Amino acid sequence: MIVDEKSVKLSYRITYAMAVVSCVFSLLVGMLMVSSLMAVRTSSPLDMPEIDQLRAVLKENPTDEILRNKIRDLDLVSRRFYFTGLTSLRTGSFLLLGGVIIMLVSLKTMASLRRRLPNPREYPASPDMLQSAATARWVIAGMWVALITGAVVIGIMERSGLEAVVPSNGVPIKTAQPVTMPVSGQMVSTTVSPAQPVTASPDAAEVLKNWPGFRGPLGNGVSAFTNMPVSWDVKSGRGIIWKVKVPLSGMSSPVVWGNRVFLTGASETKREVYCYDIANGTLLWTARVDAAPGNTNKVPQVSKDAGYAAPTPVTDGVNVYAIFANGDITAIDFCSKKIWDVDMGLCNNTYGYSASLAIHKGKIIVQYDSVDADGKVSEMIALDAATGKKAWSITRPVADSWPSPIVAQTGKGAQLISMANEWIIAYDPVAGKELWKVKCAGSEVTPSPIYAGGLVIASIAAEQVYAIRPDGQGDVTKSHVVWRSEDGVADVSSPVSNGELVFFAHSGGTLTCIEVASGKIIWDKSLDGEFYASPGLAGDRLYLVTRNGEVFIVRAGRKYEEIGKTSLGEPSDCSPAFVDGRIIMRGATNLFCIGNK
């Protein structure tokens, strides 16, 4: 009985200590959470007077790249600080819940033990009780140590979140929760806020350092960098800097500018633009593109191979511009703020609209080819990048198509090159005037053209490859086609060239090398895979992605030489993006950054 009484009294003291410590711990965590909440409320990245002031200065000096980069960096820091605060609040809520539960359990246990004591208000100071009291004091001291440790853990988490603002070793940090900004569409061009000036185009050197649109700076799949990885392993993580899941699916490819990676995704009812941090894969923001109120019949009929987000976005370093299968185009700045949106109307397209946007001197180029139905005609359209208003448009004598236009710097100046059923056409990208055209056959034109070795090279599915001199006027079918080839005709993916040789990847798995100057076939090779994604070229290395996610790395030379073979671990129909030492690739589910950590 005495032993049992001693045990009950010791348990009572320990439980009392646990109740006190858990109560104080909960109060401390609660105060820290209030502090974090105040910090989050006062540091919203969408309400930063400092950034607004810098933007006002930038409007007066739109060509100040240093100021523009400062705004981007400040915005990035504010967002990470904000998301770190949210993470701390979530962690604190779990700690607070645990502290409260321990306190309630301790109080209930104390009440139960108190009833078992003969006289809970009197404790004789016997040697046994003194020993019990000493034991209880050690327990109380241990509880206080636990309290201090918990506070230190919270502090470390706060600090680690802030240190993650500028990671020094490139190690991925925990992905912060994104902020979603609704972007409401309109039936006509709508500027929602004073648009930032987009009159000055970034210089050529800055463009080449980035990957601003479909197939890169020149729309030809060629990287300005040669230091690309040739092996990686997704399962072990070797060579994978980061890997993140993309919220909505899409066939669009990633684009990169500075420290940001842009991507689109869509479903039948939702359209979104994503912005990721290239350093660690953090989803910085999600911009939702909503259909205009009262808009009807805005759900396009699309095939599985096209989907609702096939076109790749484009950026000029100030805004990112995206178009979706339902004809909605939006311009969003690098801080997720909508600048304008335009409703192009549904495109009557057999498989679903897929032409990516091009950009030239402050104009967004839209190839909007449609089958002849409901009075719609195919058009090439240029929108002002600052306002979304139509700069020019020209009708096209073609049916629906799926290639993307490119702006080529030819010996005759900049030319907007397009392909579609029956015609390869070049335009003046500034004035919208037709320059020349070549008659071709083929019913389903998908590959995009390239400009290489002074020639426009176009692959027309189920017909021929055309090599055209771009210095003519009018119909130059009989005068400016340098060569034609029935070998190596790609049907889905676009060609890539180093200027001397041009490479074609057929959906059936055949890779063909042709000499640019003569059209002579150099070699072809049957590979184990199907190709929808367009190949990329970095230095003398070709990167080819099969539909099941296998990646072939091949020497771009006069003899076939396989450098390596690796995999994404999931299917992919998207073309890779190349920046300094890194490859950004989109799979069916995830977005990958591949390179040396």
CATH of the domain at 385: 2.40.128.630
pLDDT at 177: 39
Which class for 517: exposed (0-12), middle (13-18), buried (19 or more C-beta within 10 A)? middle
Q: Is there a domain that residue 506 lies in?
A: no
Residues 45 and 107 in one domain: yes
Range of the domain at 309: 180-218+247-398
Q: Closest Cα to residue 425, out of 384, 465, 472?
A: 472
Q: Are 158 and 191 in the same domain? A: no
Residues 255 and 306 in one domain: yes
With contact defined as beta carbons under 8 Å apart, do 471 and 427 qualify? no
Which residue, chain included where needed, has tokens 């009989």? 478
187 lies in the same domain as 43: no
Residues 137, 208, single domain; the answer is no
Predicted pLDDT of residue 401: 86
Amino acid 474 reads G
What is the predicted pLDDT for the residue at 200?
Answer: 56
Whether 349 is in a domain gets the answer yes
Q: Is the pTM of this model over 0.75?
A: no
Mean pLDDT score, 543-564: 97
Residue 195 domain-assigned (yes or no): yes
Q: Where a domain ends, among 371, 398, 425?
A: 398
Is 60 a domain residue? yes
Q: Are 447 and 214 in contact (CB under 8 A)?
A: no
pLDDT above 80 for 128: no
141, 40: one domain: yes
488 domain-assigned: no
* 103 within domain boundaries: yes
pLDDT at 15 over 50: yes
Using CA atoms, how far apart are residues 240 and 172, in angstroms rounded to an integer? 10
Q: Confidence class of residue 570 from pLDDT cuts 50, 70 and 90?
A: very high
Same domain, 285 and 210: yes
- The residue-averaged pLDDT of 272-276 equals 97
Same domain, 112 and 261: no
State whether 186 and 158 are in the same domain. no
Q: Give per-residue pLDDT as tens, 57-85.
A: 777 777 666 667 667 766 666 666 666 66
133 with 214, same domain? Answer: no
Residue 403 maps to a domain: no
Q: Looking at 398, 425, 457, which one is the last position of a domain?
A: 398
Show which of 398, 430, 463 is a domain's final residue. 398
| 239 within some domain | no
Is there a single domain that holds both residue 322 and residue 260? Answer: yes
Amino acid letter at 323?
A: I
Backbone angles phi, psi at 52, to 5 degrees: -60, -40
Total structural domains within the chain: 2
Q: For 509, left (φ over 0), alpha (ψ -120 to 50), or beta?
A: left
Q: How far apart are CA 546 and CA 390, in angstroms?
A: 38
Mean pLDDT, range 325-345, rounded to an integer? 92
Name the residue type at position 364: I
Q: Kindly indicate the confidence band of residue 99, based on its pLDDT and cuts at 50, 70 and 90.
A: confident
Residue 168, pLDDT above cutoff 80? no
Confidence (pLDDT) at 46: 57
Tally the residues of the chain: 597
101 with 213, same domain?
no
Report the range out of 62-71, 92-101, 155-164, 340-349 with the highest average pLDDT. Answer: 340-349
Residue 364 has pLDDT above 70, yes or no: yes
